[in-house]
Amino acid sequence: MSQPQRTRSRIKIYFDILSSVQEEGNAKPTRVLYRSNLSYDRLTKYLDELVAKGLLQEVRSEDSRYYTITQKGSEFILEVKKAEAFLKGFGLSL
């Protein structure tokens, strides 16, 4: 009988990235990298996906680049938190 794989799902990775950006306010990629526990290549890929989906906004200035969460991103975090709370009652997790 095999044990379940505990790799993070795409949704969970989205959630972790968005949560770290939300907590930081204006989050630089290195901060998000540190908090989301991803390789740089994978983080870049996920950040691009989140920007394309309208969950994050990329802000570029002359010497820096940072991300802010959009209204849609905040709503996504809330929905995932509700789903997690729902599953927790059944003793389950994402």
Interface contacts to another protein, rule CB under 8 A: 1-5, 9, 11, 19, 22-25, 69, 74, 76-83, 85-94
Please say whether the beta carbons of 71 and 82 come within 8 A: no
Give the residue with the Cβ less far from another protein, 47 or 76: 76
Q: Taking phi first (over 0 means left), then psi (-120 to 50 degrees means alpha), and beta for anything else, what does residue 38 get?
A: beta
Q: How far is the CB of 64 from another protein (least distance, A)?
A: 17
Q: How far is the CB of 71 from another protein (least distance, A)?
A: 11
Nearest to 60 by CA among 33, 36, 22, 26: 26
Give the residue with the Cβ less far from another protein, 14 or 33: 14
Give the residue with the Cβ less far from another protein, 42 or 88: 88
Q: At what angle do helices 10-24 and 71-89 cross, to 10 degrees?
A: 120
Q: How far is the CB of 10 from another protein (least distance, A)?
A: 9
